[in-house]
Structure 1
Amino acid sequence: MPAPLYPVASVDNRPASIYTHLPPASTPEYPLKLTMGKPLSLAPERLRAGLQPEAVPYADSRQIPRRERFEPPQPRALRALNLAVNIPGNEYNVYLSGEESLGRTYFLRHFLEPVAAKADVPPDVLYVYNFDDEDRPRALQLPPGQGRTLKAELAKAVALLRERIPGSLEQDAFVQRREALLKTYQSTKDDLYTRMEDEAESKGFTLGMETEGQLSLSPRVKGKTLSLEEFEKLDSETQRTLRGKRDELLAAMNGMLRQVQAVERGFTEQERSIEREFASSEVREILAPLRESFASQGKVMDYLAALEKDVLANLERFATRPEQQPQPQPQQPQAEPAQAEDFCGRYEAHLLVDNSGLKGAPVIVEDHPTYFNLLGSMERESELGALYTDFTLIKPGALHRANHGYLILKADDVLNSPSAWEGLLRALRSGLARLEDPSEHSEQVRTRTIEPEPIPLQVKILLVGTDEIYEHLLYHDSRFRKLFKIKAHLQSHVARSEGDILGFLQGCGTIIADAGLLPFDREALAGLVDHASRIVEDQTKLSLHYPLIRELMIEASAMAKLQGKDMVDAAVLHEAQAARDFRANLYEEEFMADYDREIIKVATSGSAVGRVNGLSVTYFGEYEFGLPHHIACTVGVGREGIVDLEREAELGGPIHTKAMMILKSYLLGLFAYDKPLILSGSLYFEQSYAEVEGDSASGAELAALLSALAEAPIELSLAFTGAVNQSGAIMAVGGVTRKIEGFFEVCRRRGLTGRQGVLIPADNVRNLMLKPEVVRAVADGKFSIYPVACIEDALELLTGIPAGKRGPDGTFPEGTLYRRVDDRLGALARAAAQFGQSWRI
C-alpha cells in the first residue's frame, strides 16, 4: 500500500457553514420507509442534478449576450465595495475575504476599473533639487501630462543655459566693461604697491613678491639688497636690529595690505555683478516660456526663481561651452564629479509618477509587495569607490503609483514582509507617502542619504485574504481595525435557480470571449452548470469558483481543437474532465490496485459480526477521492468499557474522540434502563496508519458495536457513512459524493452483484452529484443508495433484523436486534457480578 501523504482516514471534510441550513431528517421530501420498515433505495434522478440542454436558452455560447459590466452574484461584497469607494480618506480601506479560486483579484479589478474610469486622473509627481537643503529634495505635483512637459522643457532650458551663457560673457560690451574694471583695479593696485615700495625704501628695505603671491621685505645695507644667506652672515646684533625695523615696517604697511585685499574683493564682486548683469537677461529669456506655461503652479514658480538665483550664483560653472569642455581620456575618470555636466544635473526634474497615459484613477495590483516595491526606494551609484544618491535615483513604489486611486494587495504576500506591512500602516495612519531608507529603523550604522519631501496620500487599499488572516489581524493588530474598517465577504456559491443559472452562463460566456475559446454548444453549457453543482457538492447550488471552471473550459477548448472540432460539445467536456482526473488520480489508482490485490482487505460481499464498511475521503493536492475501510469491534466481559484504539494509539483527532463518547452516551440512554453497563470492548479502523478525524464514521462504528453485542452479522456488500447523535439520529457529513464513488469503484472492479450499495444520511441526499456511471448502475439495479434518518433504519438494512423499540414493560420485542443487545448486556453484567468485578463504561 502506498504511504499516504495526508491522512487516509479523514472521515469528515465538511465545513460547518455548508450544512447550517439543511432540511431536517424528518422532511417529507425523502420517502424513507416501505410498509415493511426498510428504507427505499434512491431513484436515479435523485442522485445528481442535471440541467436539460433544452432548458439552456442559447444554441451556443456565441448567443450569450455580452454586457459591458458583468457583476458576479456577490451582494455582500458589492455592497461593501460600493460603500468603501464613496468614503474618502485613509481609514475605510477594504479587506476582501474569501476562499481561494474564487477569482478574488479579478473580481476586484472588474469592479474597480469602471469606477476608477469615472474618477479624475491624479496629478503627476516630480522631485526637484532643493537649493536651500540638497539633502531634502522637493516634491512637485502637476496636472497629468504636465510633469513630462516640465521635465522636457527644463532639460531644454538647461541645455540653452549652457550654450548661451558663455556667449553672453563673450560680448564686446561685456569684454570692454570688464577690461575697464580690470584696468581700474590694476591701476589702484599698482598705486598701492608703489606707495608700499616707497615706504619700504625709506626704511632701508626692498619690497618683493614671493612665488606664492606673498609679499617679502629684504634689508638693504650700503645700497645693496641682502639675500637670506648674506643676512645670516651678519652679526646677531645687526640681525636683531634689522628684524625690529622690519616688524615696525610691516605694522605700518598692514593698513595698505588691507586696502589691497579690499580692492581685490571689490574687483571680484564687481566682475561677478557685471557677469550677472549680462547673463541674467539670457537666463530670464530662457526661463520665460517655463514661467508662462506654469504660471498657475505656485511651487513651480518658486522653484524656477530659486533655479535662476542658483544659476546666476554659479556662472563660473557655465563659463565653458559644452563642446569646448575637455573630454576625459580612456581609463582616466574625471577628477571631480561636480564638473559642468554633473553640476547641471541638479537642474533636472525627476518624474517619479507619470499619469499622462491614464484615463481615470489608477488601479494597481502589486503581486510582490516587498518594502521597496510597495513604498519606493532610493538607489545608489558608485563614484570612485564611494556610494552616493540624489533625487534623480528615487524610484516610486506601488503606493506612489496608486495614489488617488486603488491598490490591491494579497494579505499573505504583504505580511511575509514585516517591514512592508509596517510601512504601509504608517503611510495610511499619517496620510503621507514617505521615501525612507529601511536602515533608518534598524540598529545598523546609517550611511549618508537624502530625505525627500513626503507626498500627501489619498489611496484606497484593498487587502485580499482568507478569513483566518482577517481574524488574526483583527485581534492581534489594533491598527488594522482602525485602518481597514470595511470587510467585503465573497460567497462561494449561489442557489441553483433559473436567474442564477442565467447569470452563471453569462459568466461562462465572458470567460469564453476573454480567453478566445471555441464556442460551447447547448449541451456543453448545461454540462458546465452541472459541473458547478458538483464542485459545491449540492444539487441546489452553483459554485462561484470561476477560476476552476475556467480551467476546465480552457482544457475542453484545447481538446476540441486537437480533435478538429470547431465547437465544444458535451462529449469533449466530459473527456476534458476525465483527463483532469487522470492527471491527478495516480494515488487513487494505486490504492485501488491494493484493493484489487486485497493488500487492503475490504470485503464487498458476505457478512461478518462486529465488522462494517466505513467510508472516508482523502486529498492528494487538490484531488479528492473516497476510500472504504473496515471498522471492527470486539466485546467481552470486563470493566474497561468501550476503548477507542485510534485514540489510544494517538491516531484519533478530537472530533473523532467526541463521536466515540456520544456512542457511549447512546448506549447508556438506551440500554442502562434496569442494569449497569459492564463490558469490555474495542473499536478501531483496520489497516489505518494515519490520523482519523471527523465524526462521519460514528454511525458505522455504532453499527459495528451493536452487531458485536447482538452477535448479528452485518452485510458487507453495503457501506455506511453518517454521524450519529445521542438519540440515534443520523446527521449529515461531508464528501458524501466522493465516498460513494470510492466504494462503487471497488465494487465495480470486483463485479457488481446488485446487492451492493451505500447508506448515507437522509440530509445528504441533496449533496449527491454522482458520476454518470454510478447513476447508470443504480438505474440498472446493480447498485443502490439508501438514505437513512436514524441508526435503526441503518441497522435493519445492514443486518436484515428489525431494530425494535422498548415496550411499556421496559423490554424490546422478541426477535429484534435491540432485544439481543439488551440480553447480551445483561449477561455481561451478570458474568461480571459473578466474578466480582466492578463496572464502568
Structure 2
Amino acid sequence: KATAILEYIQRTVERRRQAGALPLPDDWCYVYNFDEPDRPNALRLPPGVGRNLRDQLEELLSAVRDSVSRAFASEEYEHQKRETLEGGQQEAKRIMDQAQKQAEEAGFLLRFSPVGVALVPLVQGKPMNAEQFAALDPAQRQEIESRQQRVMEAVGEVAERLRAVEREASQKLRQLDRQVGETAVAGLFDSVISQNEAHSELVRFLERLREFTLANVDLFRDRDGQPGMALALAAAGPQPDPFLAFRCNVFVDNSQARGPPTVVEVNPTWTNLFGKLERRAHLGTYVSDHTMLKPGAVQRANGGYIILNLVDVLSKPGSWDGLKRVIRTKEVRLEDPLEQYGLLTPQGLRPEPIPVDLKLVMTGDPMAYFLLSAYDEEFWEMFKVKADFDVQIARTPENGVAYAGFICACCQREGLRHFDRMAVAKVIEQSSRVVGDQEKLSARFGQIRDLIVEADYWAGRDDSPIVKGQHVERAIDERVYRLNLVEERIRELIARGVIMVDVTGSVVGQVNGLSVLDFGEFSFGRPSRITARTFMGQKGVTSIDRESQLSGRLHDKGVLTLSGYLGWKYAQDKPLSLSASISFEQA
C-alpha cells in the first residue's frame, strides 16, 4: 500500500510541477531568544535562505571578533580610556584632599583603605595610638568622641561622593566601550541586514543581535593578544558556547527541494515523528541549546506528505496522542517524551512550536480502522477520507499489459534480467492462481515481486540472459517445496492408511469432503471422510464435531441449515421423527 501511495503522490507532484503550480516548502531555523534563552525562536524562511543565514552569521561572528579586537587594541581607545580614568582619579583625589583638610581642622587624620575610612585623633599634629587614647581622662575622651561623631558624618558624605565618582567613571568607560563597539560593528551588521531586508522577522532578529553584541562587547575582545575569558573556558573543555546568539540551527533545510517533500516513516516513535532534544554533559549534568534540536518526520514533511502505518503508530508509546494533537492544533511542538509521563528531565527547553500544513496518509488493516472508529471519538473527525485497496483486479487485456509493464519496471529498478513472453504469461497465470479466480489477477504486488526476483535467480543459475517460463515454474515449485511440509505429511498418512479415504466404490451415508488449510503464504486441501448415520428418535440432526467442540462457526451454521432444510422438506404436515448424526472422521 505504501508503495502504491508513494508512486501516486509522486505522479501527482510531477503533474503539478509541469503545470507550474508547485509551491516549494520553506526552510525552518531555530535562533537564540534574547528575552527567554530557554525558548528558542523559530524563523520561517524561503528555501535556501536558512543555509545562507547560517553562513552569514558565522562570517559575521568572525568579522565582529576581528574588528572589535582591533578597535580595542588601538592607541586612540587606550588614550580615551586613560583620560577617563585619570579624570576620575583626579576628582577622587580632590575630594579626599578636601576631606583630609576638614578632618585636620577638627583634630583628626583620615586614613583611606580598601575596607573603608578610619579616623585617627591628632595630638600636637601627630596621630594618637590606642595606648595614648586610653591614657586620657574621661572628659578628654568624651570630647574627642563627640568631635569624631561630627567628622564621621562628613566622612560618610565623602565616601558617597567617592562612590559616585567611581560609578560615573565606570559609566563613562561603558559608554566608551559601546561607542567603540558601535563604530567597529555598525557597517558589518548593516551589510547583513541589507541583504535580508525582505524578511521582516529575520531583520528584527539581526537588530536584536546587534544590541546583544554591543551590550556584551567584552566577549569579543582579546586582551594582550590572548583570547578572552569566555574563549579560554571554551578551549579548556566542553563548555556552553559564549557566542550562542550567533549560531543558527537550520532545523529543516529545503534548499535542494524540487517540490513538496514525501516522507515515509517506518518506525514512528515519538522522537522519529516529532523531533529530538539532544544534550551534552557539563559539570555533572546535561545541558542543551537551540543548536541541538533535531527534526522529526512531521517537521521534514511540512508542506508535503507523510505516510505512516496505523498499527506501527499505535504500538509506539505516545505517538498516537501526539499525532492527534498535531492534527488538532495544526502545529508541532518539540518536547521531551519523558515529560509526557511526568518524569523529570535535565534543563528542558521549550522551543517555539512550528505551524504545520501537510497531508497525512495512514495505512492499515480494516480491523484497526473499525476499532478506532468505534472507540476513539476523535478518529472520525480527523480522518475524513477512507480509501479501500482491493487485493485483486480484473483479468483484462489492458491489465495484462500493465502487468507486463510492472514486471519490466521491477527488472529495471532491481537490476534483474528481463522476462520473455512465456515468463510473463507464467507470472500472470500464477497471479490468477493466488486469488483463486481465472478472471482475476492479484494486486499484492509484493508477492509478485518476490516471484520475479526468485525467477531471476534461477535464470542466473542456468546462465540464461533472460528469464524464461521454465525459470518462473522453477521458482513456483521451489516456493511450494519450502512451504508444503504439512501437506507432504498428510499425504504420507493417507498412503499408509492412517487417514482413511476411499476413492473407489460407494457407501451409503458416507462421502469424501475437502477442507482447505491456510498457512498464510501457502494453502492446500485436506481430504476427509464425512459419515452420516440415522436411527429412530426425535433428536434431529446432531453434529458430533459441534458437541465435542471441534467445529467452527461456519460448520455449525451449515449443520443447522441442513436441519432446517429437512424440516421444511419433510415436516410440513406432520412432525419429523428423525435422529441422525454427522461427523468429519479423524478430524
Question: TM-score, normalized by length of structure 1?
Answer: 0.65
Instruction: Tell me, yes or no, if structure 1 residue 263 matches structure 2 residue 263.
Output: no
- Aligned partner of residue 448 in structure 2, secondary structure: helix
Tell me the residue number matched to 2:152. 250
| 1:116 and 1:405 in contact (8 A); partners too | no
Cα shift at 1:472 = 2.0
Cα shift at 1:238 = 7.1
Whichever residue aligns with residue 175 of structure 1, its letter is E
| 2:263 and 2:297 in contact (8 A); partners too | yes
Instruction: Tell me, yes or no, if structure 1 residue 618 matches structure 2 residue 521.
Output: no
**Worse overlay, 632-641 or 458-467:** 632-641
Residues of 1 paired with 2:130 and 2:576: CA distance?
130
Residues of 2 paired with 1:452 and 1:322: CA distance?
39
Whichever residue aligns with residue 10 of structure 2, its letter is E
| 1:631 and 1:683 in contact (8 A); partners too | yes
Instruction: Tell me, yes or no, if structure 1 residue 683 matches structure 2 residue 585.
Output: no
Tell me the residue number matched to 1:423. 322
Whichever residue aligns with residue 516 of structure 1, its letter is G
Tell me the residue number matched to 1:399. 298
Instruction: Tell me, yes or no, if structure 1 residue 301 matches structure 2 residue 200.
Output: no
Tell me the residue number matched to 1:732. none
Change (3 A) 1:640 1:240: farther
Tell me the residue number matched to 1:667. 566
Cα shift at 1:398 = 0.7
Instruction: Tell me, yes or no, if structure 1 residue 636 matches structure 2 residue 538.
Output: no
Cα shift at 1:552 = 0.4
Tell me the residue number matched to 2:6. 109
Give CA-to-partner distance per residue, 1:265-321, whole Å, 9 cap, x none. Answer: 111111111111122122122223321221101111111110010011011112227
Change (3 A) 1:652 1:204: farther
Change (3 A) 1:579 1:178: same
Q: 1:554 aligns with which of 432, 437, 453?
A: 453
Tell me the residue number matched to 1:826. none
- Aligned partner of residue 222 in structure 2, secondary structure: coil
Cα shift at 1:471 = 1.8
Tell me the residue number matched to 1:162. 65
Instruction: Tell me, yes or no, if structure 1 residue 527 matches structure 2 residue 426.
Output: yes
Tell me the residue number matched to 2:437. 538
Change (3 A) 1:361 1:336: closer
Which structure has greater helix proportion? 2
Residues of 2 paired with 1:568 and 1:434: CA distance?
53
Whichever residue aligns with residue 205 of structure 2, its letter is Y
Instruction: Provide the aligned C-alpha RMSD in A.
Output: 2.7
**Worse overlay, 189-198 or 398-407:** 189-198
Instruction: Tell me, yes or no, if structure 1 residue 283 matches structure 2 residue 185.
Output: yes
Alignment of 1:446-485 (within 5 A): 447-485=346-384
- Aligned partner of residue 387 in structure 2, secondary structure: strand
| 1:125 and 1:139 in contact (8 A); partners too | yes
- Aligned partner of residue 361 in structure 1, secondary structure: coil
Any stretches of 5+ residues in structure 1 without a counterpart? 1-103, 689-841
Cα shift at 1:636 = 2.1
Change (3 A) 1:663 1:264: same
| 2:286 and 2:346 in contact (8 A); partners too | no
| 1:162 and 1:321 in contact (8 A); partners too | no
Whichever residue aligns with residue 402 of structure 1, its letter is A
Give 4+ residue runs of structure 1 displaced > 6 Å after superposition: 228-241, 330-333
Instruction: Tell me, yes or no, if structure 1 residue 137 matches structure 2 residue 36.
Output: no
Tell me the residue number matched to 2:551. 652
Give CA-to-partner distance per residue, 1:9-30, whole Å, 9 cap, x none. Answer: xxxxxxxxxxxxxxxxxxxxxx
Change (3 A) 1:335 1:585: closer
Residues of 2 paired with 1:614 and 1:627: CA distance?
8
| 1:116 and 1:362 in contact (8 A); partners too | no
- Aligned partner of residue 199 in structure 1, secondary structure: helix
Question: TM-score, normalized by length of structure 2?
Answer: 0.92
Alignment of 1:95-494 (within 5 A): 104-117=1-14, 118=17, 119-210=22-113, 212-220=114-122, 223-225=125-127, 245-320=147-222, 324-325=226-227, 334=236, 337=239, 342-445=241-344, 447-494=346-393
Identity %: 32
Whichever residue aligns with residue 592 of structure 1, its letter is R
| 1:410 and 1:463 in contact (8 A); partners too | yes
Cα shift at 1:216 = 3.0
Give CA-to-partner distance per residue, 1:758-803, whole Å, 9 cap, x none. Answer: xxxxxxxxxxxxxxxxxxxxxxxxxxxxxxxxxxxxxxxxxxxxxx
Residues of 2 paired with 1:600 and 1:196: CA distance?
125
- Aligned partner of residue 349 in structure 2, secondary structure: coil
Cα shift at 1:213 = 4.5
Residues of 1 paired with 2:144 and 2:89: CA distance?
32
Cα shift at 1:140 = 1.0
Cα shift at 1:123 = 1.2
Residues of 1 paired with 2:581 and 2:135: CA distance?
126
Give CA-to-partner distance per residue, 1:384-425, whole Å, 9 cap, x none. Answer: 101211111111111110001111111111111241111111
Change (3 A) 1:323 1:127: farther
Aligned length: 581
Residues of 2 paired with 1:245 and 1:624: CA distance?
117
| 2:209 and 2:245 in contact (8 A); partners too | no
Cα shift at 1:517 = 1.4
- Aligned partner of residue 655 in structure 1, secondary structure: helix
Cα shift at 1:666 = 1.2
Residues of 2 paired with 1:684 and 1:216: CA distance?
119
Residues of 2 paired with 1:289 and 1:332: CA distance?
29
Residues of 1 paired with 2:225 and 2:268: CA distance?
46
Cα shift at 1:604 = 2.7
| 2:220 and 2:228 in contact (8 A); partners too | no
| 2:538 and 2:576 in contact (8 A); partners too | no
Any stretches of 5+ residues in structure 2 without a counterpart? none
Change (3 A) 1:244 1:572: farther
Change (3 A) 1:410 1:446: same
